Amino acid sequence: MQPDKYYVFDITKPVHFVNIGDHTGDQDYIHTRRIMPDYELFVIKSGKLAMKQGAYDFNGKQGEVFFHLPHVIQYGTEPNYVEFYWLHFTSETEPTELTMPQLAKILAEQTDFLTNKIVVPQFFSLTDRQRFFMQCGDLFATWRTERNQTEGNYAVTSLMLELTKQLVRKLLPGAARHSRKLQTALVYIHDNRCNPITVANVAEACMCHEKY
C-alpha cells in the first residue's frame, strides 16, 4: 500500500536539523532494518529504493522522496542500485496529519493556510528535481564544513519550504504562497550561508523582532 498522508508542521520556529548524508548503494543494496528517533527524508537521485515502513510500501525512483516517521520500523525489501540523500530533523511541535482530499480542501478554502507552515508528504514525485537536488547538495556540503546549527536549522526549513511549494503547486496551482518576511529571511540565509548567522541577523534583515 502506497502512503497518502501529508504532515503539516508549524515553523514559527524552524525545525531542528540533525544530519544529512549522500549514499550510494551497489546493485545488491538493501536498506538496513532499523527504528529511527527522528523524522527522515529520503531523496532519490538515481536508481531505485524499495522500503517498507509500518503498513506502507515505498518503491521510489529518481526524483521521488519518502518521508519516514520516528519510532516506526523501516527496512529494505529488495536489492537495487541506488543513489540518495538522507536527511534527519526534529520539531518542537507535533505535525497535523492530513489526507490528500483534506489538504486540497483546506488549501482551496484558506488562502493563508501556509503562513508559517510546511507540508511534508510521505511520498512525492518532485516537479523540479534538479532544484531540490541542488539544495540538498548545498546543505550537505555546508554542513560537512561549517557545522553551524542555526544555519542548518534554517537551511533544512528552507528545503522543506521548497518541497511544500512543489507539492502544493502540483495539488492546487497558485496556492503556494509564503509571507514576504519569510521569503526575505530565506534569501538572506542563502546569500550569507558561508558566514556566521544568528536569529538576530535574520530578524534585522526582515525588519522585525527576533521572536517573530
Cell digits of residue 102 = 483534506
pLDDT at 109: 86
Tens digit of each residue's pLDDT (9 = 90 or more) over 25-77: 999 999 999 999 999 999 999 999 999 998 889 999 999 999 999 999 999 99
Integer Cα distance of 84 and 158 in angstroms: 19
pLDDT at 2: 56
Could you tell me the CA-to-CA distances from 55 to 3, 40, 51, 98, 154 in Å, in that order?
9, 17, 11, 17, 32
Residue 119 has pLDDT above 60, yes or no: yes
Residue 162 has pLDDT above 70, yes or no: yes
Tens digit of each residue's pLDDT (9 = 90 or more) over 91-109: 999 999 999 889 988 988 8
**Other C-beta atoms lying within 10 Å of the C-beta of residue 54:** 12
Backbone angles phi, psi at 100, to 5 degrees: -60, -45
pTM, to two decimals: 0.80
Residue 174 has pLDDT above 60, yes or no: no
Which tops the pLDDT comparison, 51 or 183?
51
pLDDT at 175: 46
pLDDT at 181: 63
- Separation of CA 124 from chain center: 11
pLDDT at 186: 66
In eight-state DSSP terms, residue 32 is P
**Other C-beta atoms lying within 10 Å of the C-beta of residue 151:** 22
Residue 177 has pLDDT above 50, yes or no: no
Which tops the pLDDT comparison, 1 or 84?
84
pLDDT at 22: 97
Mean pLDDT estimate for the chain: 88
